[in-house]
């Protein structure tokens, strides 16, 4: 864009001088779509299992006070599935 002092003189021919720009843009777009599909496939292969002793040991009073949070391993797994 050298030599253009007025924006009204800016045309498509002077703004886009590379003949490869469209191919690069389309190639990056297609690569991004393929990458997203592959990552979705890989994430769906993950199998969630309950983890032993993931919750803290608590007494009845603490469990009653924090009743929103799950207190068993299986309940934690169900909450993780619901959130994710």
pLDDT of residue 41: 95
* Structure confidence by residue, pLDDT tens digits, 7-32: 777 777 666 666 777 888 999 999 99
Give, as one character, the DSSP assignment of residue 40.
Answer: H
Q: Spell out a b/e string for 51-76, using b for 16 or more CB atoms within 10 Å of the CB, else e.
A: eeeeeeeeeeeeeeeeeeebeeeeeb
What confidence category does residue 82 fall into, taking pLDDT thresholds of 50, 70 and 90?
confident
């Amino acid at each position: 864009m050298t030599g253009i002092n007025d924006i009204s003189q800016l045309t498509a021919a002077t703004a886009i001088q590379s003949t490869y720009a469209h191919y690069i843009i389309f190639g990056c777009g297609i690569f991004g779509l393929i990458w997203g599909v592959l990552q979705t496939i890989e994430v769906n292969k993950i199998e969630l299992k309950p983890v032993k002793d993931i919750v803290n040991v608590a007494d009845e009073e603490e469990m009653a006070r924090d009743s929103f949070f799950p207190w068993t391993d299986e309940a934690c797994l169900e909450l993780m599935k619901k959130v994710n």
